[in-house]
Chain A
């Protein structure tokens, strides 16, 4: 029986070509010596060297990396807790609302989330005097909120697959719940926590819309910086910074993939007992 899905394999390659060709073109043209982006003027790293002298851009990069780091860390803590609640605690008051609050940020248009958070911050500043000014802190809160949902989805997938009898055994032997969670559950779901951290990091690094709404004077992130120059048209400097970002994120994704793959292999490797029987 011929089960090789030839048409779908063809479509897969068409789709992958569609995804990757524009990015490859972008990277090639970032090495273009010509100032005119559409004319090829030979190979050059001119635009990359120029990036280092652009202090405004460099400070935006530094700010974005800081925000992304703190976002990923907070989102992993909140997201893992949320995933634990959703997969392990079957009944509590407000469970429906809770799971709604976890899944809705995945699809909510960013203009709505951004506007509503800004209005919240303004109202809070009027009512309780905090946050006194908007900037990295408010961007961090905004990013953590939506990255938490992504982490929760990634981690709950793994939590659902886990064999709960090991946790039950630890509790039967007298381990308190928090200790069981830290010593038994967390090590077993560590790969998905790491993958969630990397996902949250890239999501934060990538965000333009939320940051534009909740940022204040002086706190410009990298996407905001890129956006304001992209609006004016295609420029060789932007090609260079865009290629650097593509490379950095690709490396991050590869890292996340290796972590996920090694965990998958370990999970699939037959236990010694199975081999004996």
Chain B
């Protein structure tokens, strides 16, 4: 049985842990608000862009253009862009991203494909480093400091387009966490390249016949890279919001657990104290009786 002093120490250490977790929760909540706002601000741009691209790709279904699927190769080279957080202490956030990417790449390898990676965020990079070996093409960290820049998405986009156009990569997926609410996020993969019309859902395309200047093809070639950049940008923003949301819930749970622990320990401490007093009393009384 621990002594009273041990118990007191333990209670005070749990209390200080609780202080830290509740402060982290507060910080995460503030950051979540900002991240959510940022994510919402990019939505009009992304929506409009995908509307235009959808109707263009829909019109060009039969034709083969620069970014459509290549039919020549048999072994597929697949690029995964894995977005995770730079820091831990956010519940299962990084863990589920890592698990998801591992599963996906194992599936691709089993199907006879080759996988290469670009990492955004330290956590997934660190834990998948050994698993990936030397197929890591690039690694970005500290992206959200002070805020996510659109230029970052642009540079990732340039990189993947270069790979795609010089035939060293056939497909590209983006793995990120979709932000549903502060307590619910799901890991998702999004296909960036190649574009094929079949997968694009055309719910609102009223089949407008546009007048193009310059030609339709040139516009398509200009607009698709832009669309990819904005998709990456939105994914990064959503990922950040998810990270903060996940951290908030994790820290909230931790604070609550610390509270429970403090209650139990205090109860135990008081009981032991009482037991000690009773014991001493009994000793004194029985000593007095003996005399």
Question: Are both chains from one complex?
Answer: no
Interface residues of A (CB under 8 A from B): none
